Amino acid sequence: LTLHNGAKTIDGRLVLDGDDDWAESAPLASALAAPLVAKTFECWVAPARLEQRGGGVMNVQTADGATFDALVFGEREPRRWMSGSNNFQRTQDVGGTDETAAGELVHLAIAYRADGRIQLYRNGRAYGRAYNIPAQQAFEPAACRVAFGVRHGSASRGRMFAGAID
C-alpha cells in the first residue's frame, strides 16, 4: 500500500486521523485475471470517534474513484455501518444497531454475491438485513484498486475515516 498525507502504521495497524490521510493499493491487474464482481471486504476496525460521518474503511474503486463499493461508517445513519457505492446505486440502509465500540476493535465484513445479494456482518453475526440489487458492479483489474480510510477517490472532507484498521 501507498500511505498518503501522514497515514501511518503502528503495531501493524493502519492509523488514520480522519482529516486527509489514507492508503491505497496499486491497480489489481497482477492479482486478478477477470473482472472483480463477487467479493468480500473484511477488516478489524477501531473507530476513533463514533460521531464521525461518511468515512470509508475499505473500498474497491476505479482509478478516478468515481465508481466504488465501500464499507462506510455513519454516512446516511449516524453510528451505523453500510455498504456505500457511487450515488448510492448499490446502497440500502440495513437497519443495523448503533456502533458503541469507540477505540475498540470490531470485526466487519461485507459479502457481495454475484447474484446481487449484499450482507454486512459485525463480529461474525449478520448486521441488519441482507438486500438484493439487480447486478453487482464489475471492476476491471487494470483499472481498479483498493483503498483504506477513504470512502472513494482521494482525501476529501466527509469521506475520511478516523481510527485504526488492523
One digit per residue, the tens of pLDDT, for the chain of length 166 reads 999 999 999 999 999 999 999 999 999 998 888 999 999 999 999 999 999 999 999 999 999 999 999 999 999 999 999 999 999 999 999 999 999 999 999 999 999 999 999 999 999 999 999 999 999 999 999 999 999 999 999 888 889 999 999 9
pTM of the entire structure? 0.95
User: Strand (E) positions, the chain?
Assistant: 2-4, 8-10, 13-17, 22-24, 39-47, 55-62, 68-73, 81-85, 106-112, 117-122, 125-132, 144-148, 162-165
Give the distance, in angstroms, between the CA of residue 78 and the centroid of all CA atoms in the same chain: 16
Q: Are 47 and 57 in contact (CB under 8 A)?
A: no
